[in-house]
């Protein structure tokens, strides 16, 4: 996977357009680009966490009393 944290604005705009986002509002796209950069920075920090000895959480709890 490419380093998304360092994604250029040009690549971001191309990806947004491919996903059907209206990229004509430059001010809005700048806000969105900054937000995406912040999120990708946070994701990069999470990926650095050492979770080698951590058991996964039980996130699926089926109902036992029927539908």
Compute mean pLDDT per 10 residues along the chain, 67 residues long, and list them.
Answer: 68 96 97 94 92 82 71
**What pLDDT, on a 0 to 100 scale, did the predictor assign at position 32?**
96
Residues 36, 12: contact at Cβ < 8 Å? Answer: yes
H helix count then E strand count, the chain? 2, 0
**What pLDDT, on a 0 to 100 scale, did the predictor assign at position 2?**
46
- Alpha-carbon distance of 23 to 32, in angstroms, equals 10
**What pLDDT, on a 0 to 100 scale, did the predictor assign at position 28?**
97
**What pLDDT, on a 0 to 100 scale, did the predictor assign at position 4?**
47
**What pLDDT, on a 0 to 100 scale, did the predictor assign at position 1?**
38
């Amino acid at each position: 996977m490419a380093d998304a944290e360092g994604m250029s604005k040009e690549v971001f705009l191309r990806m947004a357009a491919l996903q059907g986002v209206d990229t004509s509002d430059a001010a809005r796209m700048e806000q969105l680009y900054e937000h995406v950069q912040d999120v990708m920075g946070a994701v990069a920090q999470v990926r650095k966490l050492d979770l080698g000895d951590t058991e996964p959480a039980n996130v699926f709890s089926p109902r036992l009393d029927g539908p």
